[in-house]
Amino acid sequence: MADLTTNYLGLTLKSPIVVSSNPLTYEVDNLRRMEEAGAGAVVLYSLFEEQIELAEMGFSGYYVQHREELPEALRHVADMKEYNQGAGSYLAHIYQVKHATTMPIIASLNGYYSSGWIRYARLIEAAGADALELNIYYLPTKATVTATEVEQMYVDLVRDVKQSIRIPVSVKLSPYFSAVANLSRRLVGAGAKGLVLFNRFYQPDFDIENRAIVPSLDLSAPSELRLRLRWVALMAGQVNADLAITGGVHSATDVVKGLMAGASVTMMASAVIQNGIDHLRTVTTELQGWLDGHAYESVKDIRGCLSHIQIGDSAALERANYLNVLRTARAPKQE
């Protein structure tokens, strides 16, 4: 049987199939079931910067009662109680999960700047997390903010967090940077041991009848994987970090593609939410079957075989691909 073991962030994982941050990770029993179903590791739901700020202000726990006393920007955090229980409980959750499972547990912080991050990063480490994923989400909506300033903020944040803890740090990135590869390299220079490509964003929708902007959440489709495959294939070998794919991984075929691009792990959220935790068992069995059927001894045999550095054919991944696709496209006949 092919060996599924992989290394990610200096940790040994029994499988490259990892569950990414999502609400199923709120229940300890779900994490136990994910491990039994074959998950190599789990990234916990995020603790949000706003929740840390509330905790630091002494509002931990009873957000709803205090809602009206809060600054405008923090009022929506009261409603997040439905998503998770806030800063204090997050640490207790890590502790409980670590005692209920043996797989690596990756905690997640979501925000863009907060001095509270450093303190919580330390507490997260003390609670027993094996690694910390930083989901840095800053929307530079002001035309006065430059790309250089935004990128520097990301780099500083990673450096500050990394300098205050010993566990490995990964960064979950957005694809919306003008120079993703360069920023990635700088983040690695600042201490990131892993890069998670790419975050998905939930763009608000317009309700035309009520003239309102409404939140909307769609689960991913497998076609979203392609953006990630391309960038992981381009970055593998260019940046000295472990690469993880998140976004559009639904099947064993997707996992194989991710590994071939050069990822150390492929993460799943939507597919597990959609099909249930047992889907991890199906994907693991199919991955094993595919590797055995092709006489590969381990996932290492395929990792990076389609990366930029391995194929040496940059055209397939770069601008020429775009031109080729357009050249071969046929518009449907018009009546």
Ligand X SMILES: Cc1cc2nc3c(=O)[nH]c(=O)nc-3n(C[C@H](O)[C@H](O)[C@H](O)COP(=O)(O)O)c2cc1C
Q: Given the rule CB under 6 A, which residues bind ligand X?
A: 20-23, 45-46, 108, 110, 135, 172, 199-200, 219-220, 246-249, 268-271, 273
Token pair 């905790």 is at which residue? 55
Q: Which is nearer to ligand X, 46 or 101 (CB)?
A: 46
Q: Which is nearer to ligand X, 230 or 308 (CB)?
A: 230
Least distance from C-beta 165 to ligand X, angstroms?
A: 18
**DSSP characters over 236-301:** BTTBSSEEEEESS--SHHHHHHHHHHT-SEEEESHHHHHH-TTHHHHHHHHHHHHHHHTT-SBGGG
Least distance from C-beta 224 to ligand X, angstroms?
A: 6
Q: Which residues contact 157 (CB under 8 A, 6 or more apart)?
A: 112, 113, 117, 134, 136
Least distance from C-beta 22 to ligand X, angstroms?
A: 4
Q: Which is nearer to ligand X, 2 or 35 (CB)?
A: 35
Which of 137-171 are b and which e, b meaning 16 or more Cβ less than 10 Å from the residue's Cβ?
eeeeeeeeeeeeebbebbbebbbbbbeebebbbbb
Q: Which is nearer to ligand X, 69 or 218 (CB)?
A: 218
Q: Which residues contact 104 (CB under 8 A, 6 or more apart)?
A: 8, 11, 13, 40, 41, 130, 131
8 A C-beta contact, residue 320 and residue 274: no
Least distance from C-beta 143 to ligand X, angstroms?
A: 27
Distance CA 267, CA 262 (A): 14
Least distance from C-beta 249 to ligand X, angstroms?
A: 5
Q: Which is nearer to ligand X, 225 or 306 (CB)?
A: 225
Q: Taking Cα atoms as reference points, which of 308, 331, 310 lies closest to residue 321? A: 308
Least distance from C-beta 65 to ligand X, angstroms?
A: 24
Q: Which is nearer to ligand X, 28 or 273 (CB)?
A: 273
Least distance from C-beta 136 to ligand X, angstroms?
A: 10
Q: Which is nearer to ligand X, 45 or 59 (CB)?
A: 45
